[in-house]
Amino acid sequence: MRWYGADPLNSIGEAEQLIALFAEWRKHPNPGTRWGIELGKSGTLIGTCGFYKWNRQWSTCHLSFELARDTWGQGYMLEALRTTLEWGFQHMKLRRVEALVHPENRPSIKLLSELHFVQEGRLRSAGFWRQ
Using one digit for the tens of pLDDT, what is the confidence trace for 70-122?
999 999 999 999 999 999 999 999 999 999 988 888 999 999 999 999 999 88
Side by side, the strands of the sheet bearing 60-67 are 33-39, 44-55, 60-67, 96-98
**Is the pLDDT score of 5 beyond 60?**
no
Contacts of 93 (CB under 8 A, 6+ apart): 59
**Is the pLDDT score of 2 beyond 60?**
no
Answer CATH for 12-114 from 3.40.640.10, 3.40.630.30, 3.40.50.880, 3.30.390.30: 3.40.630.30
Describe the crossing of helices 76-91 and 106-114 by its angle, rounded to 10 degrees.
50
- Res. 130 pLDDT band, cuts 50 70 90: low
CA distances from 99 to 12, 15, 41, 57, 61 (A): 28, 23, 30, 19, 9
Using one digit for the tens of pLDDT, what is the confidence trace for 31-72?
678 898 999 888 898 999 999 888 989 999 999 999 999 999
All structural domains of the chain with their residue ranges:
12-114
**Is the pLDDT score of 28 beyond 70?**
no
pLDDT score, position 38:
92
Q: Which residues pair with 37 in a beta bridge?
A: 47
pLDDT score, position 16:
82
CB 77 within 8 A of CB 107: no
CB 37 within 8 A of CB 45: yes
Contacts of 115 (CB under 8 A, 6+ apart): 78, 81, 82, 85
Q: Read off the pTM.
A: 0.76
- Residue 61, by phi and psi: left (phi above 0), alpha (psi -120 to 50) or beta? beta
